[in-house]
Amino acid sequence: MAAETSPMTIADFPLRDLPTVWRRQGMLLLPLAVALLLAAVGAFGSYTSMGLPLRLLHFATVGLLVGALATALSVAAQRYLFAGALPFWAVLAIAAVTAPPGGWIVQELLSAWAPRALRHVSYPELTAQVLLVNLLIGTAAWWMRRLSAPTVIPAAPSASAEPDLLRSKLPFALRGAAILSLSAEDHYVRVRTDRGQALVLMNLTDAATALGPHAGVRIHRSHWVTHDIARGATRQAGRLVVRLADDTVLPVSRAGQKSLRG
């Protein structure tokens, strides 16, 4: 099992992780940034019925409410349908599904803040406007997530073990995913991939062997990671650790350090 580690300080934070962090923060701030831009330019004719302060309030509120709805659907889809990252078509589908309730939200807010605007726009038009913005934000967010995903070298087939032995135990949605790390948990192995993670009934040695000797390195008696991730090992509170894309921190043992140097 992975030992708990203390939070990283600014001094411990590796500079090479900054682009990934900026992209993650950008995904969180993207709906708000788009809302502020729409307010500033008076998008969809809003400049005719609302001043700048009211436009800022209106678009920011719409962005937060519709963004929260889209985020909830995305999280549910990732967990129950795809067991990991959403394919692009699913992002577009969520953008379309949230457009009708988004149009209703805009209509209700306009009726409270600028009722005269409703004389010039209908509910279908509001829904179409929300759909357009959703598609733009969804596409940008999906692209940013793709940029923040780690580069993974495909595992080489192993001559000493059946290559599909591990993958055949994974949920169907993860079988074609790139395997990033393995962690022993009692009689199970936690398999982390670029599409999500799962527990399989298998010991760590057999799981690592199934991936082949060139796919990664055993950094600890309980942990295995790909070479690409192992190269990102850094010191945290005096200890050598590996930080995964989901911010999970895995310790590197003394034997693991020798493997890294080798």
What is the DSSP track for 229-258?
Answer: HHTT-EEETTEEEEE-TTS-EEE--HHHHH
Segment among 180-189, 201-210, 250-259 with least mean pLDDT: 250-259
Structure pTM?
0.50
- Judge whether residue 36 has pLDDT over 60: yes
Q: State pLDDT tens for residues 65-85.
A: 998 898 889 888 877 787 667
Alpha-helical (H) ranges within 98-211 are: 99-113, 123-148, 164-167, 204-211
Query: Mean pLDDT for the chain?
Result: 79
Q: What angle do CA 19, 24, 26 make, to 5 degrees?
A: 90
Q: State pLDDT tens for residues 164-202.
A: 788 888 888 888 888 999 999 888 999 999 888 999 998
The token pair at 15 is: 């500079």
In this structure, the number of other CB atoms found within 10 A of the CB of residue 262 comes to: 6
| Residue 6 pLDDT | 36
Report yes or no: 201 and 223 within 8 Å, Cβ to Cβ.
no
Q: Work out the percent of the chain whose per-residue pLDDT is above 70.
A: 82
CB half-sphere exposure, 96, CA atoms < 13 A: 6
- Judge whether residue 262 has pLDDT over 70: no
| Type of residue numbered 207 | A
| Residues in contact with 58: Cβ distance below 8 Å, sequence separation at least 6, in sequence order | 39, 46, 50, 109, 110, 113, 114
Domains of the chain (ranges, CATH numbers)? 15-148 (no CATH), 164-261 (2.40.50.1020)
